[in-house]
A = this chain, B = another copy of it.
């Protein structure tokens, strides 16, 4: 850990005992110029694969880019604001979700894909990697570039790699290069009905 890299734990304090990995995981924008070993990269998808899903339908599909050619294709559908930082990530992945199954529409496809993304991000943290998900990409361009079937919907693009120096970022992004906070738990968890605050919550 370099001096220019803030440790998440110094900015985030959990209110209850949880696995430290939840606090350690955050979404930096600076990526080191360092490739991700194949076995390590695959382990992230392996963690995602074991996510729970409605009727175990596993709607998640990942399309990864790690060659210069594939990365350039992915860059072509990422919006400029994100491309400014994610162009240095050694791997990108589109997470898409299958909106139907043989039995009809899957109403939980986006929700379940979100669970898989969360598991990927946690395993990445455990392996010393960082991830950053983006919704800012051109979905129609992505659909065309990746040959997505009509019933497969792109959800996010994930940048994957090792954390870089803050100073390597464009200046306007340097001050944002630290973990963000969260809404208090008593505005997030209610009891018995919506908005009914739990007094015991820290």
A-to-B contact residues, CB < 8 Å: 12, 14-19, 21-23, 25-27, 38-39, 42-43, 45-52, 54, 56, 58, 60-67, 69-70, 73, 96, 107-108, 110-119, 121-123, 126, 133, 135, 145-149, 152, 155-156, 180, 182-183, 185, 188-196, 198, 200-202
Which 6 A-B pairs rank lowest in CB-CB distance, beginning with the nearest? A114-B114, A115-B118, A111-B114, A16-B43, A118-B118, A16-B46
Taking a contact as CB atoms under 8 Å apart, the answer to whether B22 and A123 are in contact is yes
Taking a contact as CB atoms under 8 Å apart, the answer to whether B52 and A201 are in contact is no
Can you report 10 A-B residue pairs in the complex whose CB atoms are below 8 A from each other? A18-B46, A26-B52, A42-B185, A42-B200, A52-B118, A61-B190, A61-B194, A64-B192, A73-B192, A115-B118
How many copies of the polypeptide does the oligomer hold? Answer: 2
Contacts of A47 in B (CB 8 A): 18-19, 22
Taking a contact as CB atoms under 8 Å apart, the answer to whether B114 and A110 are in contact is yes
Taking a contact as CB atoms under 8 Å apart, the answer to whether A188 and B60 are in contact is yes
One of B45, B73, B115, B147 near A194 (C-beta < 8 A): B147
Taking a contact as CB atoms under 8 Å apart, the answer to whether A194 and B96 are in contact is yes
- What is the minimal beta-carbon distance from A173 to any residue of chain B, in angstroms? 15
- What is the minimal beta-carbon distance from A1 to any residue of chain B, in angstroms? 20
The closest CB in chain B to the CB of A62 belongs to B189
